[in-house]
């Protein structure tokens, strides 16, 4: 697992998406991340330190390639803008639905 910064993550994700286009798939996972990398201790032991902030952990996987990044609160808008751009450009294999012109519009034109 390679931990990257946000923009490098998107760049590599685009590469992975291109590779996966032919005959593979890729998976992206989002989950909350509070900075603790240790498991929760058993009862009676010292609990983990209280998290100061929450972040979002993004992981991507294609075949055996795995990358990840951590998005903090102030980076969410820029990251989501980049991510939606990525979705629009790379997830383009979905069926296009033809817009049905409404009758009112059709008669006006």
Partner 1 sequence: MVYVKNWEDFEIAAENMYMANPQNCRYTMKYVHSKGHILLKMTDNVKCVQYKAENMPDLKKIEKITSNLVGHMASKE
Interface ranges with partner 1 (CB under 8 A)? 17, 20-23, 25-34, 53-56, 71-73, 76, 79-80, 83-84, 87-88, 90-91, 93-97
The distance of closest approach from Cβ of residue 38 to partner 1 in the complex, given in angstroms and rounded to an integer, is: 14
Distances in Å between the Cα of 91 and the Cα atoms of 17, 32, 82, 84, 103 are: 8, 24, 14, 10, 32
Nearer to partner 1, 74 or 103 (CB): 74
Are the C-beta atoms of 66 and 60 separated by less than 8 Å? yes
The distance of closest approach from Cβ of residue 54 to partner 1 in the complex, given in angstroms and rounded to an integer, is: 6
Strands 2-4, 65-71: pairing kind: parallel
Nearer to partner 1, 40 or 106 (CB): 40
Are the C-beta atoms of 17 and 64 separated by less than 8 Å? no
The distance of closest approach from Cβ of residue 45 to partner 1 in the complex, given in angstroms and rounded to an integer, is: 19
């Amino acid at each position: 697992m390679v931990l990257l910064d946000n923009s490098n993550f998107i760049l590599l994700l685009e590469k992975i998406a291109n590779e996966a286009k032919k005959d593979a798939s890729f998976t992206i996972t989002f989950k909350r991340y509070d900075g603790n990398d240790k498991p929760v201790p058993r009862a009676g032991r010292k609990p983990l330190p209280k998290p100061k902030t929450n972040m979002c952990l993004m992981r991507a996987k294609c075949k055996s390639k795995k990358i990840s990044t951590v998005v903090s609160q102030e980076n969410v808008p820029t990251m989501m803008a980049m991510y939606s751009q990525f979705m629009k450009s790379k997830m383009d294999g979905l069926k296009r639905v033809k817009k049905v012109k409404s009758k009112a519009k059709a008669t006006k034109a």
